[in-house]
Amino acid sequence: MVKRQFPKPKDLLPLMQFKKPTLSAKKRRLDRALTIYDLRDIAQRRTPKAPFDYTEGAAEGELSLARARQAFEDIEFHPAILRDVSAVDLSSTVLGAPVSMPFGIAPTGFTRMMQTEGEIAGASAAAAAGIPFALSTMGTTSIEDVKAANPDGRNWFQLYMWKDRDRSMALVDRAAKAGYDTLLVTVDVPVAGARLRDKRNGFSIPPALTLGTVMNALPRPAWWINFLTTEPLAFASLSKWSGTVAELLDTMFDPTVTYDDLKWIKEQWPGKVVVKGVQTVEDAKLLAKLGVDGITLSNHGGRQLDRAPIPFHLLPDVVREVGKDTEVHLDTGIMSGADIVASIALGAKFTMVGRAYLYGLMAGGREGVDKTIEILGNGIARTMRLLGVKNLAELEPSHVTQLERLAPRRR
């Protein structure tokens, strides 16, 4: 028989410690977020459909994005045991300068449409964390204002080469004068991909209001208050633009750009040059021969060519061919610290996150971006400890197996 007794207050008190209430609703929301997917759910609740879908969506059937994320899920880690991992070092040297962690914030367009703090939140959070921030040509905060938000950190500028070369190089010159250390030349956008969610939502700057838009926005008053009481949205890298977004994109994206143009751009830029949007081993080898400082394996987050190659699957072959001479970076599909660890183990020098950053931004502005960085950083450190490694240099291909779900059909 179990002997029972009345509980004594002095015995109960150590077992009943009440949590101090958190007065800030934003902090309560963010404290509950344990993963990037949690931040995504908060972002969806707080953001109108059109800007959320612009972040969430990809091209056509969105197969490229789904496959990229699936590739990270289809890995098997191989941990070593009985290693001293009481302290782990996440820092590295990327493009000749230090970073505190092996990831940075990718360039994103229309960013203040997602949440009014926009690039300032991203750049200041990156500065605090010691990681690079990349500003898009399609960004909604100026080159100079981003530099002011991250005055002593790593600022990278992403360039779309325009048909009007003088206007393109004027942006490059502004970024160089502002002290940006790296130019990201995006090469996978000869024309804009078919982003069907945006077409169905009538996505534009400024937003095109319809009855559906208004009804969708009613449960999200904070977004509209911020949108209506802050500086009107514009592409801050441009002095002005009087046409539609579609006309702007048609002007911006140049389908005639070649390797000769890239060589010319490289000669104009005083800092490091990274080519973003590489999707074949052959192009990686040509770029390495051209002498660029780095390449980013990327299919533009699945937003350009649907059914494009999976960057994470390309990684081992590209590193084998060019990794000794050229830094290989990676983006597309990264949603956890474990994804980043797997990328580094297979030879990537650096990774970039776009959607994960925007989910945090939409969930809580600057504090939400801090939360994204915290979740990813904690995930990297935890995965490294569980693998039995104490610094990034100890990560090796033997720590990871890429399991095959999609394999070429035998001819």
Q: Which residues are identified as catalytic?
A: 300
Q: What is the DSSP string of 257-288?
A: --HHHHHHHHHH-SSEEEEEEE-SHHHHHHHH
The two three-digit tokens of residue 385, written as one number = 């400890």
**What CA–CA distance (Å, rounded) separates 63 from 306?**
6
Dihedral sign from CA coordinates of 43, 44, 49, 50 = positive
Q: Parallel, antiparallel, or unpaired: how do β-strands 133-135 and 272-278 relate?
A: unpaired
**What CA–CA distance (Å, rounded) separates 326 from 393?**
17
The two three-digit tokens of residue 187, written as one number = 């090469």
**What CA–CA distance (Å, rounded) separates 35 from 313?**
24
Q: Which amino acid is at 105?
A: I
Q: Are 99 and 91 in contact (CB under 8 A)?
A: yes
Helix then strand then coil, in percent of the chain rounded to 5, is: 45, 10, 40
**What CA–CA distance (Å, rounded) separates 139 from 108?**
6
Q: Among candidates 273, 283, 296, which has minimal Cα distance to 343?
A: 296
Helix intervals (H) in 130-232: 143-149, 165-178, 196-201, 211-217, 221-228
Q: Parallel, antiparallel, or unpaired: how do β-strands 133-135 and 155-159 relate?
A: parallel
SS3 182: strand
Give the residues across from 92 on adjacent strands: 99
SS3 313: helix
Rounded to 5°, angle at Cα 231 from 225 and 236: 135
Provide the residue count of the chain: 411
Give the residues across from 318 on adjacent strands: none
